Every structure is written in C-alpha cells, then in structure tokens.
Amino acid sequence: MPNSNKTYIAELKNNVGRQVTLSGWLYNSRASGKIQFLIIRDGTGLCQCIVEKAKVADELFSRLKRLGQESSLTITGTVRADERSVGGYELTVTDAKIVSPTTDYPITPKSHGTDFLLKHRHLHLRSQRQWCIGKIRHTIIDAIRRFFNDNGFILIDTPIITATAGEDLQSLFEVDYFGSPLHLTQTGQLHVESAAMSFGKVYCFGPTFRAEKSKTRRHLTEFWMVEPEVAFIDLDGLLELAENFVSFIAADVLQNNKSQLETLGVDSATLEKIKPPFYRLTYTKVADILTGQKTRDFLAQQLEELKNQKQQLETKIAELEKQQTGQLKQWQKDKIAAELIELRSTLGEVDTRIENNPKHAKLAAEFQWGKDLGGSDETIISQMHDKPVFVTHYPKEAKAFYMKTDRDEEGVVLNFDLLAPAGFGEIIGGSVREDDYDLLLARIAEYGLDVENYRWYLDLRKYGSVPHGGFGLGVERTVAWLTAEKHIRQCIAFPRLMDKIYI
Ligand code: ATP
Ligand code: MG
C-alpha cells in the first residue's frame, strides 16, 4: 500500500474515481451476507466503506466481519460519490490492514446515561455529537481571536493567581500561596483595564474559575472567557462592539460548520438571523415584562405547547415499543432501542419543563425591581426573542463594584448582559467601569473588599483616568447556544463541575 495514497475523509471530494487509503477507526458496521458496510471515522469525517466478499481475500472478509467498534485500521478502495451516503462519498474496498483490533468498546451506538458518559469522557470524545461540538468550539475560538486581532486589539495574558476579586466573594477558589491565601482568577478584567490604558484596545482570553455552589446547566467551575477592554468608550459603543463580535462568530460557524450543524440538528436559519442590531431592553423594562400580562400569556401558551409535545412523544414511544415486538434484524432492533432512549430522554425533559412552568411563572410574577435576574427570568426573556437581547442599566446593588453608576439615573449602573435567544440565557456580562477615584474607593469599601489589594486598580483613576469599559463572553455558553446543546458540560472537552471531576 503506497503511503502517498493516504487521504483524509474530508478530501474524498477531490478524489472521486481514484484509489485511496484511509486511516481511522471503525465507527459502526453491519453485514448482510456477502457484503459489509463499515463506517470509518478518521477525525475529519465519516465514510461508508463497502466490502464485497468477491473483491477481497476470504480471510480479510471474515476478519473485518468480526472487527469490533473502535478498532483501528487502514482501508484502501476506490472513491465513489453517493449523495445518500454519510458524508456524500463511499469507498469500494479492495484491501484493508487492521492496526489494532478492539473488542467490547464500552460506548455502543445505543444511548448511555450522562454519568456513564462523563466517566468515559476520554472515549466519549470520539462520538459524533462530541466531535461536532468540538469542531464548532474550535471555529468559535478561532473567530474570537481573529475578530480582535483584525480590529486592532492587543492580546494581554492576565494572571491566574490573584489577590483581587472581580465578582462575588463566595465563588473564590482559594490557593495557599507560600502561606498566604490568594485565589484563582474569576476574571481578567481588572488587569486588562490597566493594559487598556497602555494599548487602548486590549483583550485577554483564558481560563477563569468560580466555585459555583449550584448545579445548573449553565455553570462550570472552570470555564474560558474572552474579555475585551477599550479606553474611551461608552455604553452604546460597547453594545455595538458586542453585537458585531457575536455576529462575526455566528457567521464563521455558519461558513465553516454546515455539516456539523446539520448532524446536531441545528437549523441554520436561526444562526442566519444573528446580525446587528440586537434587541435592546433596559432592566426596568424587563422587570415590567416579567410581572406583566405578556409573560403570563407567553408561559400559558408554552405550557399548552409542552403538553402537546408530551402527547406526541408518548404516541411515538408507544408505536416504537409495538414495532420492537415484531420480527426484526439485530441492527433494526438496535436502531429502535437507540431511538427509544432518545425519545424517553426528551420526554423526561418535557416533563421537567411542564413541572417548572408554574414555578417560573410565579418567580416572574413576583419579580422585584432591585434583584438580579434569575436563571428562569433570563430564560423567559430569551425565549421571547429570536435574536440576542441586550439588557442594560441594572440596579447597582445587583452588580459588581467596578461598574460605573449612571449619572443621569439614580440607582442604576451603565452595564449590560447579553441574553442569547431561544432560552439559552446570558452569554456576555459587561459594563462601563467606574472612572472616578472617590466613587470607586467608596464602592470598594461598601463591598467589604480590602482596599490595600485594590491600590493599583485605584491608581488607574488617579493617573489619566478615562471613560472605559469592556465585557466578558463565556466560551462554553456560546458553544452551547450555537450548537443548541442543552448542558454546558458538553461544551468543553473535560468539564469541571461542582460535584465531581470525572477525568
Ligand atoms: P451568571 O449570572 O449566569 O452566573 P455572571 O453574571 O456571574 O453569570 P459574569 O461575571 O458577567 O457572569 O461573566 C461573564 C460571562 O462568563 C457570562 O456571561 C457567562 O458567559 C460566563 N460565565 C460566568 N460564570 C460562568 C460559569 N460558572 N460557567 C460558565 N460560564 C460562565
Ligand atoms: Mg455567576
């Protein structure tokens, strides 16, 4: 087998009619008498390889037939275009070499529970879903860097071990630093602020840590955040930057990951809508919406739709259960079993949503001006919109000490959260920063922070203070939204969660 023939599945389109050799793993296979259908994956895609008994050596044919899922192999054959086939191309096999045969691969094409899959994360990363999400995450991270690099921003690497807190003190991870208590960074913001006074436009991009004590589908204890910071900018300027940035990322995913979006079942039309301008609401307006008739009607209608969905799922499940009892080939049984696991899991989610609907309705109806928006409040606002929504001007008590107070409106700060649509909730938090020395000093004291740790930060307000601001976008939340993945733990290769670190 000449090595020069080695081809990746992604390159098959340029090799129709030629003989090529693929190197990869056996993703799935089925046999039907004198013919076998092997689905191979090689990191760039999937390809169905057809092995006919008459065209290969007898011994090879029977070894391939016994080959277990995830065995590694090289396989040679002629490329054929076939629209119906996974990936659009097939290989008519003439030869194969088994690199390492495998038996009893623990993850089968049938579904498994979440806990099992997280324990087997090192293997689960090979699954189609995780592979698609990983490819899209890569595009998102690449787009993030390109957007800032091409728009005159300078990358600043901020420290991971710090003495300053950027967010709530309850979520700090302590580090024993040669006998002194320090902590892992919650945000690079305070440091990028000082860099913005040197370079004008900067960003940091790295891991951040928060000891989140609640288990939600939106929180990890270690996540990646990109934080641009700009000197001489106001709130409107920040909103414009954020909407251009997020639209750029979405466009890049659309351009580079069409087939992954399709595999994940994401409708590209939802991504095509992500273009400026995004919706803009003030916090006060949101509080009115939550406590008003619009939310009551919206949630009542949603409950109706969920009940209908439940009924349809139950009918489908009953049908498949009936089919299961008939005369079927093994692969057909497996297919139905996998579908049933999928449907039952969706039914479980629908049941939870039916159960939560009145609770969320109650929380929304009782929402009081002054509180931060809760997860369910964000979800409601986010579900009401088909494009991202900026919520601006929060009450100052609900937000961090460094946010600039609105000089025109008592009690609110010049900040924004960006809520992704379709229920995904907050993906960005940002603000104009307090640039007045005395006001900032007072806020540091009010928040019970040790002013000594913030002397350097206060210096920025002493030496050439300027209006400035920035925001932080969470990578995993963005991945979850753009891949329509319900749980953030699927959006990073090795998630860190409150209750457990698996791998
Ligand atoms: P939330 O209210 O949802 O906890 P936050 O207000 O604490 O978010 P910020 O401090 O504004 O969030 O952080 C900026 C961004 O970082 C958020 O918009 C989100 O995308 C991301 N983020 C924050 N906390 C987490 C977390 N625990 N896990 C994953 N991403 C997070
Ligand atoms: Mg938080």
What DSSP character marks residue 367? -
pTM higher than the cut 0.85: yes
Whole domain around residue 345: which residue ranges? 292-365
Q: Which of 344, 365, 386 is the last residue in one of the domains?
A: 365
- The CATH number for 342's domain is 1.20.58
Tokens in use for 177? 């630093």
Residue 41 shares a structural domain with residue 88: yes
Per-residue pLDDT of the chain (503 residues; tens, 9 = 90+): 445 578 999 999 999 999 999 999 999 999 988 999 999 999 999 999 999 999 999 999 999 999 999 999 999 999 999 988 888 999 999 999 999 999 999 998 666 788 899 999 999 999 999 999 999 999 999 999 999 999 999 999 999 999 887 777 788 999 999 999 999 999 999 999 999 999 999 999 999 999 988 788 899 999 999 999 999 999 999 999 999 999 999 999 999 999 999 999 999 999 999 999 999 999 999 999 999 999 999 999 999 999 999 999 999 999 999 998 888 887 788 788 888 888 998 999 999 999 999 999 999 999 999 999 999 999 999 999 999 999 999 999 999 999 999 999 999 999 999 999 988 999 999 999 999 999 999 999 999 989 998 999 999 999 999 999 999 999 999 999 999 999 999 999 999 998 878 88
Task: State the CATH number of the domain containing residue 65.
Answer: 2.40.50.140
Q: Looking at 303, 335, 365, which one is the last position of a domain?
A: 365
Token couple for 171: 């979520």
Q: What is the Cα–Cα distance from 23 to 5, expressed in whole angstroms?
A: 11
426 lines ligand 1 (CB under 6 A): yes
What letter would DSSP give residue 72? E
Q: Are residues 53 and 146 in the same domain?
A: no
Q: Are residues 255 and 307 in the same domain?
A: no
Contact 468 CB / ligand 1 (< 6 Å): no
Same domain for 349 and 287, yes or no, is no
The answer to whether position 109 is within a domain reads no
Query: Domain check: are 320 and 461 in the same one?
Result: no
Report CA-CA distances (Å) from 210 to 6, 21, 197: 45, 47, 27
Contact 498, 213 (CB under 8 A): yes
Q: 332, 365, 398: which is the final residue of a domain?
A: 365
**Ligand 1 atom nearest residue 220's Cα:** 28
Check pocket membership of 212 for ligand 1, CB cut-off 6 A. Answer: yes
Q: What is the CATH number of the domain that holds 448?
A: 3.30.930.10
Q: Is residue 360 part of a domain?
A: yes
Other C-beta atoms lying within 10 Å of the C-beta of residue 307: 13
- Are 384 and 364 a contacting pair, CB within 8 Å? no
In a domain, 405, yes or no: yes
Question: Rounded to an integer, what distance in angstroms lies between the CA atom of residue 17 and that of residue 476?
Answer: 41
- Domains: count for the chain: 3
Say yes or no: 306 and 375 in one domain. no
- Asked whether residue 343 is domain-assigned, the answer is yes
> What are the CA-CA distances from residue 87 to residues 12, 41, 44, 126 (Å)?
9, 11, 10, 17
Protein residue closest via CA to atom 23 of ligand 1? 474
Pocket test for ligand 1, best of 186, 209, 219 (most atoms within 8 A of CB): 219
> For ligand 1, is residue 495 a contact (CB within 6 Å)?
no
| Distance between Cα 217 and ligand 2 center (Å) | 12
Q: What separation in Å is there between the alpha carbon of 220 and the centre of ligand 2?
A: 10
Residue bearing the CA closest to ligand 1, atom 5: 429
469 part of a folded domain: yes
Q: Is the minimum distance from the CB of 470 to ligand 1 under 6 angstroms?
A: no
Shortest-distance atom of ligand 1 to CA 400: 10
Specify if 27 maps to a domain.
Answer: yes
Q: What is the distance between the alpha carbons of residues 247 and 388, in angstroms, rounded to a whole number? A: 10
Nearest CA to ligand 1 atom 1: 426
Between β-strands 180-184 and 174-177, what pairing exists: parallel, antiparallel or unpaired?
Answer: antiparallel
Question: Contact 50/90 with Cβ under 8 angstroms?
Answer: yes
For ligand 1, atom 4, name the residue with the nearest CA: 219
**Is residue 117 in a domain?**
no
Phi first, then psi: what are they for 387, rounded to 5°? -140, 160
Same domain, 129 and 255: yes
Instruction: Please write down the long-range contacts of 98-104, taking CB distance under 8 Å and 24 or more positions apart.
Output: 98/63, 98/64, 98/67, 98/71, 98/72, 98/73, 99/23, 99/71, 99/72, 99/73, 99/74, 100/71, 100/72, 101/67, 101/68, 101/71, 102/26, 102/68, 102/69, 102/70, 102/71, 102/72, 103/68, 104/68
Ligand 2 centroid distance, CA of 212 (Å): 7
Which tokens belong to 167?
């967010």
- Distance CA(290)–CA(368), nearest Å, equals 10
